[in-house]
């Protein structure tokens, strides 16, 4: 029997697909309809959904508060990382919290698409508890969005003064770069490439198997 993982704030299932490929049965929860979510889905409040019966939990709380764009517009968004962490620690179940580079995570690991051979920068941070995470080779994304080799957050990329902008890319390039062909372009803008959570999920499975052996 495959272990069960709860995917809170699941979106269209980028993280879920990675955990599924690693060996988990995944159940997603989001407060909005997710018709393209590829596994069992419940439309519900992630903060009140029952946590019992799962071997591990992944949570991707809203990231807008710590996004690069919000440093300019300074709008107030829900800040749920601390409440989510407190909720998950009451269970004692291994968990992963994912968010942007500026988010206040505890001893996080940063993953980039170039570490997995993807043609995207897409830096995301992961707080993993307990700490079972192995090192991975550093990313090699520096300067590669500006010269058009990689897809950044924008389809054209942010280019340093004096450099020529690479051509605008179609939204389908994002789906291909992230590895999420079942999503719409709108879904993919917030998605985690499944390669990230497949990497984490394989180590999480090893941690769970070792814990059972003890």
Exposed/middle/buried for 76, CB within 10 Å: 0-12, 13-18, 19+? exposed
pLDDT tier for residue 212 given thresholds of 50, 70 and 90 = confident
- Give the span between the Cα atoms of 208 and 213, in whole angstroms: 9
Q: What is the mean pLDDT of residues 15-26?
A: 98
Domains annotated for the chain, with CATH where assigned, are 4-139+192-213 (3.40.50.150)
Whether 140 has a pLDDT exceeding 50, the answer reads yes
Q: Check residue 162 and give its pLDDT.
A: 60
Please write the tens of the pLDDT for every residue from 67-92: 555 455 556 667 899 999 999 999 89
Helix (H), strand (E) at residue 172: helix 171-178
Please write the tens of the pLDDT for every residue from 198-207: 999 999 999 9
Query: Is the entire prediction scored with pTM above 0.85?
Result: yes
Q: What percent of the chain is modeled with pLDDT above 70?
A: 87
Considering the chain, what is the average pLDDT of its residues? 88
Higher pLDDT among residues 146 and 21, named by residue:
21
């Amino acid at each position: 029997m495959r272990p069960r993982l709860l995917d809170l704030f699941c979106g269209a299932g980028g993280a879920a697909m990675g955990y599924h490929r690693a060996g988990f049965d995944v159940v997603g929860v989001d407060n909005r309809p997710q018709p393209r979510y590829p596994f069992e889905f419940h439309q519900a409040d992630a903060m009140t959904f029952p946590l019992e019966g799962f071997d591990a939990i992944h949570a991707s709380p809203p990231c807008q508060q710590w996004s690069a764009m919000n440093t300019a517009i300074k709008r107030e968004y829900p800040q749920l990382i601390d409440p989510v962490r407190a909720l998950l620690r009451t269970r004692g179940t291994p968990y992963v919290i994912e968010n942007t580079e500026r988010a206040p995570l505890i001893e996080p690991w940063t993953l980039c698409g170039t570490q997995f051979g993807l043609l995207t920068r897409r830096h995301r941070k992961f707080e993993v508890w307990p700490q079972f995470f192995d090192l991975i080779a550093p990313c090699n994304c520096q300067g590669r969005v500006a010269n058009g080799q990689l897809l950044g957050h924008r389809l054209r990329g942010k280019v340093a003064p004096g450099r020529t902008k690479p051509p605008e890319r179609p939204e389908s390039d994002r789906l291909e770069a992230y590895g999420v062909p079942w999503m719409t372009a709108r879904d993919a803008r917030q998605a985690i490439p499944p390669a990230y959570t497949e990497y984490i999920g394989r180590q999480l499975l090893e941690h769970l198997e070792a814990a059972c052996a003890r």
